[in-house]
Each structure stands twice: as C-alpha cells, then as structure tokens.
Amino acid sequence: MARPRSELSDILHELCENVYFQPPTGTKLVYPCIIYSNEQIESNHADNAPYALYVRYSIKYITRDPDNEVRFALARLPMCASEKFYTSDNLYHYPFRLYF
C-alpha cells in the first residue's frame, strides 16, 4: 500500500529546510524550497484486484542557485523522474514526478 505522506515529508526535509505541502495562494515562500502536492493514486493490478498502490506527487525544487546538489538528490529518489526544467522571476525551477 501507499506509504504515509509524513515519511515523504521527512525525506524532503532532509534535503531542504523549507518544504511546503500544497501551499495556499499567497503563501510567502522562502528560497530555496521544495513544494510538493498530490496528483493521483496509481495502482498495479493482478487477478482483477489492486495489489500495490502509490500516490503520485508533483515535486518542485525552487532555488536562486543554478549549481545546486539538491536537484540531483531528488533525482536519485526511488521512483522519481525529472521533468522539464525552467526559469521564472530569476528562480530556477526543477520539477519532478514521484511515486511514493
């Protein structure tokens, strides 16, 4: 079954001090930071029944430093995939998709 979100939060806090889960609009973010949110539940099936459930999370690491190591640490997490990098407002955004 899917692991608790608190475990994921602990892992992300080891990588970055500022971690936000689904922050409301208007929340003042402190950079560098990790923002993550639920996307959907994925399941593996056998014999017409789900036998493994994973929650897919959208994770975004935002920083002013283009040469950071956190992006590599996130990419090394199991079942994590990097998505297209972009810049906005002089901040570097590193998006990932993670099944946990």
Q: What is the mean pLDDT of residues 5-33?
A: 96
CA distance 15 to 34: 9
Of 18, 23, 35, the closest CA to residue 94 belongs to 35
DSSP 8-class letter at 13 = H
pLDDT at 25 over 90: yes
pTM: 0.89
What is the architecture, at CATH level 2, of domain 5-99? 2-Layer Sandwich (3.30)
pLDDT at 1 over 80: no
Nearest 5°: phi and psi at 74?
-65, -45
Burial of 42 (0-12, 13-18, 19+ CB in 10 A): middle
How high is the pLDDT of residue 47? 86
CA distance 34 to 49: 35
pLDDT at 77 over 70: yes
List own/partner pairs for 24-31 with CB under 8 A and 24 or more apart. 29/62, 31/62, 31/63, 31/64, 31/91
